[in-house]
Structure 1
């Protein structure tokens, strides 16, 4: 192989920062399992949330540096499958579902598999131009990072209230199944590009985000519980919003694409 061919086959320097962030997210996800084994549930959850933050940054850094690559896309999917599929499943299993090991393991396994199926569906459709949800700025189903956050809702409740029922396998197992099904569903869910704010609401929105960040620092689990509840309440509205766009397109025959991002 010539020097020129070797340079072409290598990873461009501008793509290294984004891929390093993705690798860091993977490390965060796996470290969450380590804390779960030690019984440190707040740190286990914090690692998964940290992985979610990093996952939101890597793609933006790649676009900013023009360092998108097929290698980065594959690494991102593998990182997501582990950080938001395998790790949350193991954490919740060790926290509550191990009390019914035979049945509990199947629920945890089902969640991890559904997360992998969701990511595989996204990868399989990444080059398909005709994607109605994406062209309208919506996502298909609950994204993997949000699914991991929703998976921990019983843990949030238990940490905030100390209620032992929140840890009961007969409550945690059905909840795990529900989140798994939401991830592989065909529901249209809001993405950043589908959210539109009127001009008079933009300053209050900035204030609200600032307050939410302060609350995340002072009362992280109560705040994440509130955010999870708000996200679930938004799903019917996102479906209704997409249905309106779909009807408008059917009437006008307008297939103008809007920027969408999975």
Structure 2
């Protein structure tokens, strides 16, 4: 009697969608490097923006489809490192730092090392049993996609105001150093994933999102500059908010309702 071949294990296509988004983000990051090597600066920045959008979607889609997995979490972290830790500093290197000699490469490596440390720390922090629920309202340091977009701020500004001031090795090195330092710092920054919209404000928020998309399409570089400026302003505000939560927790003012409203997030970006 002929032996029947064992059936291959099959997965529902829904379980593959989050990983497909993650791989797409990785490819977008690699494509950004390709664009930069051919002096296609606007296309390279756009590719990083696409990678950030896809990276923000994969975790949410995984939770909606109940498709979270250890494999997906590891793949997401590796994709983040390439798309946000390697591609953006390489874009700056091709744009202006290649002319700075060895010192330019040192700053590129510095940012990439900071990104690797930032992602490693985040992955280990997920297993911290002493972390309080309210602390999930905040990231420790600037998250990976935000850091990647912020170091390209001089490049985006040069699209609007020209290269005379912003296309400078000193400017690029300054952003690589400061943003890299913020990523590995203990400085709390808002995790906007926990933001909730009251039912009465859903319609105005949707209208605002529509206007935001319209501005991004019609004036993308101006809008990205405004978003970057708003995020930078939010960093000191997040520190004050963190201290308020800390004081409330120390005084025992947090109740079960506060904790119930905080969703513990398993993926970062």
Equivalent residue, structure 2, for 1:118 = 118
Normalising to structure 2: TM-score of the pair?
0.89
Equivalent residue, structure 2, for 1:130 = 130
Aligned length: 258
8 Å CA contact 2:134, 2:245 repeated in 1: no
2:189 maps to 1:189:
yes
In structure 2, relative to structure 1, the CA distance for the partners of 1:173 and 1:124 (3 Å cut) is same
| Whole-Å separation in 1 of the counterparts to 2:14 and 2:231 | 35
| Whole-Å separation in 2 of the counterparts to 1:147 and 1:133 | 25
8 Å CA contact 1:15, 1:69 repeated in 2: no
Equivalent residue, structure 2, for 1:105 = 105
In structure 2, relative to structure 1, the CA distance for the partners of 1:63 and 1:196 (3 Å cut) is closer
3-state SS of paired residue (2:128): coil
Equivalent residue, structure 1, for 2:233 = 233
The correspondence of residues 7-156 of structure 1 with structure 2, limited to 5 A, is 7=9, 13-132=13-132, 135-156=135-156
8 Å CA contact 2:136, 2:191 repeated in 1: no
Between 1:108-117 and 1:27-36, the stretch displaced more is 108-117
Deviating beyond 6 angstroms after TM superposition, the runs of 4 or more aligned structure 1 residues are none
Q: How much has 1:12 moved relative to structure 2? A: 5.9
| Whole-Å separation in 2 of the counterparts to 1:11 and 1:131 | 34
Q: How much has 1:21 moved relative to structure 2? A: 0.8
Between 1:191-200 and 1:123-132, the stretch displaced more is 191-200
Normalising to structure 1: TM-score of the pair?
0.91
| Whole-Å separation in 2 of the counterparts to 1:172 and 1:141 | 20
Q: How much has 1:195 moved relative to structure 2? A: 3.2
Equivalent residue, structure 2, for 1:259 = 263
3-state SS of paired residue (1:230): helix
3-state SS of paired residue (1:18): helix
3-state SS of paired residue (2:127): coil
Between 1:94-103 and 1:190-199, the stretch displaced more is 190-199
| Whole-Å separation in 2 of the counterparts to 1:91 and 1:44 | 7
CA deviations over 1:61-85 (Å, ceiling 9, x no partner) = 1111111111100100000000001
3-state SS of paired residue (2:142): coil
Gaps of 5+ in 2: none
Q: How much has 1:151 moved relative to structure 2? A: 1.0
Equivalent residue, structure 2, for 1:176 = 176
Q: How much has 1:188 moved relative to structure 2? A: 1.2
